[in-house]
């Protein structure tokens, strides 16, 4: 039985083209980019080309791209670098942010800052009017993700940022799930800070980036040798930077076509689900969504039981609810959306990507039917 991987929102494989781009920087081009000799200069050229490739995908200047170790670091830097860990600071976030934002915001509260959490509607969308209301007494930062990692719902970041810019409030968006999957243009979005995760778009785990709008004051998180133009010290991880750059270049080449292909995979998947004799609902069904994400709640079932059945059938997916004994802990995203427990406790996230074929999707539906049938 061939394995079926449908957990691309958790992580993606390194594509062959990406690996081949980074491989020489693990071997012959191993130099420190801070060194002035041949080995160092070759490494530096690789890093700067990668910076240009990332900038090209999100439409910014290369000098506005800062490489990090991951999206979590980028998110934390965006919040902490603005000096928000102090009494009197006010941060506005959505109720469905990734833990990298949620936990960092909680830390800011412990430091004396005030955090406002804006809810979402039943489709998992933030209302820009609610964000504006939360900022009525002023705000030092708004952070709203671009694409939700659980439901794939695309948030109205551009509308929020357009208003915030007039008020002089900086806006950060965690775009870890969006970059490389849908068009992300920082100029069109109007954001001041934007997070990128390498392992969500076919680069390795351990590399990310933060877009910082030129002119924005952002204090470093890491101090030392002054790499990344004095803002992020530490010897550069050139092979992984090169990999992220190549992954961005690949996305820039064929994004519209790949989006259409993945939307068709979603249509095939939902059509197959409709033929199964089960009660299910698709979350954020009426919202704009990532083309490769479908979060589905199966009524009256337990996500852990469904996943156990799929694991036996060599299928990889993620759950939207964690089960511990007789207790079901629903994700904060589903809770914010007000999903009924009878559906929430049986939530599975299916996500697919570039290597996924229609045959894979049809086989997924067949095995899913088998797993669900065993629970009837």
Structure tokens at 2: 């061939």
Q: Which of 208, 116, 119 is nearest to 155 (CA)?
A: 119
Query: Helix, strand, coil shares of the chain as percentages rounded to 5?
Result: 40, 20, 40
Q: What 3-state class would DSSP assign to 88?
A: coil
Structure tokens at 244: 């992220």
Q: Return d(Cα 96, Cα 335) in angstroms, integer.
A: 9
Task: Scan for tokens 């490494």, then name that residue.
Answer: 43
| Cα–Cα separations (whole angstroms), residue 58 to 9, 14, 108, 209, 293 | 20, 20, 29, 11, 21
Residue 248 appears among annotated catalytic residues = no
Q: Return d(Cα 268, Cα 264) in angstroms, integer.
A: 6
CB 262 within 8 A of CB 256: no
Q: Return d(Cα 23, Cα 375) in angstroms, integer.
A: 46
Output phi, psi for 37, to 5 deg.
-90, -175
Catalogue the active-site residues: 323
């Amino acid at each position: 039985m061939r394995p079926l991987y449908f957990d691309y929102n958790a992580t993606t494989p390194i594509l062959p083209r990406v690996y081949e781009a980074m491989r020489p920087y693990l071997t012959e081009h191993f130099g420190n980019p801070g060194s002035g000799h041949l080995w160092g200069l070759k490494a530096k050229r690789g890093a700067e080309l990668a910076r240009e490739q990332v900038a090209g995908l999100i439409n910014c200047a290369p000098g506005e791209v800062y490489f990090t170790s991951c999206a979590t670091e980028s998110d934390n830097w965006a919040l902490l670098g603005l000096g928000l860990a102090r009494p009197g600071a006010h941060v506005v976030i959505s109720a469905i942010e990734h833990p990298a934002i949620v936990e960092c915001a909680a830390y800011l509260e412990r430091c004396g800052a005030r955090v406002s959490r804006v809810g979402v509607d039943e489709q998992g969308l933030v209302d820009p009017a609610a964000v504006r209301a939360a900022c009525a007494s002023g705000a030092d930062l708004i952070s709203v993700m671009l694409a939700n990692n659980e439901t794939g719902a695309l948030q109205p970041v551009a509308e929020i940022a357009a208003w915030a810019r007039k008020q002089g409030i900086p806006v950060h968006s965690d775009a870890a799930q969006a970059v490389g999957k849908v068009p992300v243009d920082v100029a069109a979005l109007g954001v001041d800070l934007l997070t990128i995760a390498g392992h969500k778009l076919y680069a390795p785990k351990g590399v990310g980036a933060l877009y910082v709008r030129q002119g924005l004051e952002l204090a470093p998180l890491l101090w030392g040798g002054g790499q990344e133009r004095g803002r992020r010290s530490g010897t550069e991880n050139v092979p992984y930077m090169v990999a992220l750059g190549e992954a961005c270049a690949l996305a820039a080449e064929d994004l519209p076509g790949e989006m259409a292909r993945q939307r068709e995979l979603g249509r095939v998947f939902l059509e197959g689900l409709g033929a199964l004799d089960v009660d299910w609902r698709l979350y954020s069904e009426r919202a704009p969504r990532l083309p490769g994400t479908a979060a589905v709640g199966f009524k009256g079932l337990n996500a852990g039981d469904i996943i156990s059945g799929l694991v036996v059938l060599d299928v990889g997916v993620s759950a939207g609810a964690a089960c511990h004994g007789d207790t079901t802990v629903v994700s904060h995203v589903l809770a914010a959306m007000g999903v009924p427990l009878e559906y929430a406790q049986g939530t599975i996230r299916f996500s697919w990507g570039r290597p996924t074929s229609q045959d894979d999707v049809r086989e997924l539906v067949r095995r899913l039917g088998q797993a669900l049938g065993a629970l009837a």
